């Protein structure tokens, strides 16, 4: 696993020893960030189920202003700090060890990008609570985008009246579903242009 572009390009990212992680493959990550385009520059990023910090660190390397990482496993959260220091991006980030969705209380302010990359076999009630809290706490800014990675066999579909699927990209075992909130998101951002 490595950073593919930006200030930390080529830097390897490492996880805690003995932990089985499901990192985003480079080709999927590259396609995702190409799709995000100018949403990254200057964005505040929230990386949930962060693992080694792969997505949040890539965003910082490509020009995001700040990233908050939430990971429930202490050893894995420590590896995020190690990776941030290795990429020289630690002063632009905070790492929290907490279970989700309860750990969302650690998130402050609004974010332009929220990455949700849970284990594929996760209890859907956890995702239901997470999507609900992101919306209730208005964690996405007006043009914000929530990127949810899931498998073709197992995923959570957020309420249609509250969330709108902006784009879906299939990469075999990984699907990237990109959502905006119904009362904000990029629709509102476009209408002001």
pLDDT in tens, 60-105: 999 999 999 999 999 999 999 999 999 999 999 999 999 999 899 9
Instruction: Please write the tens of the pLDDT for every residue from 143-186.
Output: 899 999 998 888 889 988 899 999 999 988 889 999 999 875 44
Question: Which domain range does residue 160 map to?
Answer: 26-191
Domain of residue 132, CATH code: 3.40.50.150
Averaged pLDDT for residues 32-59: 95
Number of domains in the chain: 1
Strands 174-181 and 163-171: antiparallel
Q: Closest Cα partner for 36 from 76, 63, 14?
A: 63
User: Is 12 inside a domain boundary?
Assistant: no
8 A C-beta contact, residue 144 and residue 109: no
Q: How far is the C-alpha of 17 from the C-alpha of 8, rounded, in Å? A: 23
Averaged pLDDT for residues 128-146: 94
User: Is 15 inside a domain boundary?
Assistant: no
Instruction: Please write the tens of the pLDDT for every residue from 10-43.
Output: 999 988 765 556 678 788 899 999 999 999 999 9
Structure tokens at 36: 């995000």
User: Is 2 inside a domain boundary?
Assistant: no
């Amino acid at each position: 696993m490595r950073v593919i572009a930006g200030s930390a390009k080529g830097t390897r990212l490492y996880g805690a020893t003995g932990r089985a992680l499901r990192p985003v493959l480079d080709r999927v990550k590259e396609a995702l960030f190409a799709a995000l385009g100018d949403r990254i520059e200057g964005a505040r990023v929230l990386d949930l189920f962060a693992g080694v910090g792969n997505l949040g660190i890539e965003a910082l390397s490509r020009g995001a202003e700040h990233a908050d990482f939430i990971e429930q496993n202490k050893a894995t959260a420590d590896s995020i700090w190690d990776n941030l220091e290795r990429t020289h991006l630690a002063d632009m980030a905070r790492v929290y060890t907490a279970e989700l969705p309860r750990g969302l209380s650690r998130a402050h302010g609004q974010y332009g990008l929220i990455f949700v990359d849970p284990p594929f076999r996760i209890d859907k009630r956890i995702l239901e609570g997470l999507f609900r809290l992101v919306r209730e706490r208005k964690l996405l800014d007006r043009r914000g985008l929530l990127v949810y990675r899931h498998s073709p066999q197992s995923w959570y579909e957020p309420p249609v009246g509250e969330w709108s699927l902006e784009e879906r990209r299939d990469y075999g075992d990984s699907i990237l579903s990109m959502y905006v909130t119904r009362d904000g998101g990029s629709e509102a951002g476009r209408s002001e242009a």
